[in-house]
Structure 1
Amino acid sequence: MIRPLKTHQLVLDIIGAFLGLVITLPLSMLLLATPSLTWLSDLRVEIVHHVVVALIMWSAAAIARLSPPIALAIAWAGAVVQMAGGMLPSPANVAIFVVLFASAAWGSTRLLWIGGASSLGGGGIAGLYVAVIEWGSLVVDEQFPVRVLAFGSLVGAVVILSLAMSWGAGLLWRVVLRSRATREAQLQAEAVAAEEQERVRIARDMHDIVAHSLAVVIAQSDGARYAAAASPELAQEALGTIAQTARAALSDVRMLLTQLRHRQGDGPQPTLADLEALFAQVRAAGIEPRVTVDPTPPGEPPGVIQLAVYRILQEALTNALRHGEGDVDVRMSWFAERADIEVRNRVAASAGSGAGHGLVGMRERAQLVGGTFSAVRDGAWFVVRASLPVHAGQR
């Protein structure tokens, strides 16, 4: 019944209704016939009647946006008071247009159709009412019923058209408001989706960076612990690898934090040139990656493809360190239209189901560039495959 409005909106509505009253009430007074002194008492009654009707109508207009249903009810009450006193349509009736506009623009769905019915019904009643009031001014002859019907129909049609236009304007504004609200909701949903994608990207990058580095550190720490008693030199070498891996991970984390402060594309990203350092870390952890590149890249692959290849290989080798045993076979095939990756390693007896965040991250990496990904257990082997399309428009 009552819509929430800002203070300035309500003040503007009240001021607008007051100005409408100030303008239309004197015009209504000018339309009154100049009476003789013997009709002075009747004139006073008619003036009071005009003032009361104008106050009722413009009061309804003042609260039309605040409460469209109450405003429509008050407008109907004003119309009844106007017809009860035999008062012809006056300039004060302009307030009805404001009320009908508000009922269509801001009212509920039910009030919307009630306002439309009021436009049709009110126009028909107005036509009939004016025909009855003007009954005595028509010449009574055999055409009298036809003239009454024609006059009433004409007045009713004009009133219906006028009221329907104001109601239709409110309906059009309602559509505009709904469209604006839909657009705002769409923008909000897109912002939420973008935030969710950013959170997924952060989680994926953190997993790729931290999980791989920690896997190397853990493997080297275990080796250093066992080698400390028999071969201090090997222990020192392992500790050196741990320190180097930790520094590299710290550098990657700092780079990721730089991206979070700015944009995803800011800061350097791993490329194919960094793969040798990645393979060296895996060798230092005790696993030999047997790398085959056939055919070789025909040119410089796009940056997004190089990043995806690096991250997928990084995670696949991390999984081999954590859940596999023995060496790892890595095969990369670079074609003009795609890049194929395959990583194959033996599965350790203590390996789990292989349904962790790493597989999800690799699949997302492939999907982000429009590629495909699969990770399956083939007997004693765990095989990771990815096929990434290479397009000239990628960067």
Structure 2
Amino acid sequence: MFRRLTRTQVVVDALVGAGWALVNALPTVVVPGGLGAALVALGMGAVIAVRRLSPPLVLALAWAVAILQVLTGVVPVPADLAILPMLFACAAYGSRRIRWTAFASTFVGAALVTAAVGFPGELALLSPSPVTGWGFHFPEAVFQIVPVVGVLYGFTATMFLLSWTAGILFRTWRQSRANRSLAVVAEREVVTEQERTRIARDMHDVVAHSLAVVVAQADGARYLRQKDSEAVDEALQTIASTARDALGDVRVLLAQLRHSQADGPQPTIGDLDRLVEQLRAAGLEVRREESGTPLPLATGQQLAVYRIAQESLTNALRHADTAQQVVLHLGWSPHGLDLVVTSALPAQPAAPGSGHGIAGMTERAALVGGRLTARTQDDQFVVHAWLPVQVGATA
């Protein structure tokens, strides 16, 4: 029955309702017999205050005030304009039953307003007649004002219906926006899942190779332990380093590897030069920079570096100003690697895309324990990835 509103919304609605009641009730204080009008003003202020909080309550409250107005003989006053936001709120936020009840109320309410304005007391349909006594009769003046009453009813009903229709349109727009947001979230989840699957496929070869090396070295050490102790030590060292790399790679795997993928070599940091040359041949001016002392990275981390650089440079080729230079910077520190790709924004930026590439790069960085940001800075687009160096990793 009550909707969840923010504290700001509740406070604003309460202040607006109080202001509405105050502005409309004050003039009635100086008018003799203005108590009924004051009560109507206060009631309509309450209608304004709770219109978004509870559509069923505000609809019932509006009808209660309307009945009070009829019983006290108060003609339509400016405070009655609160009916318009009430109808809007019922259509925009109310349930199906409340919406259609408010729709029906537009016609009944228009009839009440028309009766109050177009039929003053001397034209009442139920009055004593010198010929027939008490009963229903139609004075001749009634027929004279029927056209005016029709216009008044049509105008009032149209005004009420426009407010109700505006609420329906707002409701439709709000639902459409929510659906678009859900669609974007679902699309991102699909993209992330696809990227996870692709990462699992890439990592399959890495882990398979590492385990094969471990098995071969372990079998060789068994046969050499009686003949060549130095060879055994070397084999054990190879097993330890390879297993350490494999352990780091396994941590970035998804819950289940795809075993049906074909074997194939995976790119590493050493392939960045070839990647840069490919982009240069495609027409992108790339400058590669490197600072600090390079440290060994696990195979999975090297694959992440390559894929992030590949996606960033490809995006620069597609969307950046290719007349300007793109900078690929590798910054080494004792704790990790900072990969930064900086490109110039075009003079006329294209419409924003779905962001699939950024989602994929972010996922790759996260799966190896790092992080990635992509943002516009001044007139440049900067992709910054940080990947930690695993202690004991081998290149």
Name the TM-score, length of structure 2 as normaliser: 0.54
Specify the code of the residue in structure 2 equivalent to 1:116: F
**120-129 vs 90-99, which moves further:** 120-129
Q: Quote how far apart the aligned CAs of 1:71 are.
A: 0.6
Specify the code of the residue in structure 1 equivalent to 2:40: V
Please list, as runs of the form range in 1=range in 2, the aligned pairs for 1:133-212 lying within 5 A after superposition.
133=120, 136=123, 144-212=141-209
Aligned to 1:126: 113
Q: 1:164-215: per-residue Cα shift (whole Å, max 9, x none)?
A: 1221222222123212322332233234334434544554444432232112
Determine which of 58, 61, 86 is the counterpart of 2:45: 58
Shift in alpha-carbon separation, 1:75–1:157, aligned structure 2, 3 A: same
Question: Retained in 1: the 8 A contact 2:28–2:35?
Answer: no
Shift in alpha-carbon separation, 1:245–1:159, aligned structure 2, 3 A: same
Determine which of 91, 108, 116 is the counterpart of 2:78: 91
Quote the Cα distance in structure 1 between the aligned partners of 2:230 and 2:97: 82
Q: Quote how far apart the aligned CAs of 1:76 are.
A: 0.6
The runs of 5 or more residues in structure 2 that have no matched partner are: 125-136, 255-265, 272-276, 280-298, 301-359, 361-395
Aligned to 1:293: none
Q: Quote how far apart the aligned CAs of 1:2 are.
A: 0.9
Specify the code of the residue in structure 1 equivalent to 2:166: A
Determine which of 60, 64, 87 is the counterpart of 1:100: 87
Secondary structure, aligned partner of 2:119? helix
**15-24 vs 145-154, which moves further:** 145-154
Quote the Cα distance in structure 2 between the aligned partners of 1:135 and 1:201: 85
Secondary structure, aligned partner of 1:5? coil
Name the TM-score, length of structure 1 as normaliser: 0.54
Q: Quote how far apart the aligned CAs of 1:217 are.
A: 1.3
Secondary structure, aligned partner of 1:50? helix
Q: Quote how far apart the aligned CAs of 1:23 are.
A: 2.4
Please list, as runs of the form range in 1=range in 2, the aligned pairs for 1:57-76 lying within 5 A after superposition.
57-76=44-63
Determine which of 201, 211, 221 is the counterpart of 2:218: 221
Aligned to 2:65: 78
Quote the Cα distance in structure 2 between the aligned partners of 1:170 and 1:62: 17
Percent identity, please: 35
**169-178 vs 140-149, which moves further:** 140-149
Question: Retained in 1: the 8 A contact 2:207–2:249?
Answer: no
Secondary structure, aligned partner of 2:75? coil
Q: Quote how far apart the aligned CAs of 1:218 are.
A: 1.1
Question: Retained in 1: the 8 A contact 2:218–2:239?
Answer: no
Q: How many residues align?
A: 255
Shift in alpha-carbon separation, 1:90–1:29, aligned structure 2, 3 A: farther
Q: 1:86-117: per-residue Cα shift (whole Å, max 9, x none)?
A: 22211010111121111112112221222222
Aligned to 1:343: none
Shift in alpha-carbon separation, 1:300–1:239, aligned structure 2, 3 A: farther
Q: Quote how far apart the aligned CAs of 1:51 are.
A: 0.6
The runs of 5 or more residues in structure 1 that have no matched partner are: 33-42, 261-268, 275-298, 302-309, 312-367, 369-395
Shift in alpha-carbon separation, 1:173–1:86, aligned structure 2, 3 A: same
Shift in alpha-carbon separation, 1:253–1:146, aligned structure 2, 3 A: farther
Q: Quote how far apart the aligned CAs of 1:75 are.
A: 0.3
Quote the Cα distance in structure 2 between the aligned partners of 1:84 and 1:171: 32
Q: Quote how far apart the aligned CAs of 1:82 are.
A: 0.8
Quote the Cα distance in structure 2 between the aligned partners of 1:151 and 1:29: 32
Please list, as runs of the form range in 1=range in 2, the aligned pairs for 1:1-395 lying within 5 A after superposition.
1-26=1-26, 43-44=32-33, 47-133=34-120, 136=123, 144-229=141-226, 232=227, 240=234, 243-244=237-238, 247=241, 250=244, 270=267
Q: Quote how far apart the aligned CAs of 1:250 are.
A: 4.9
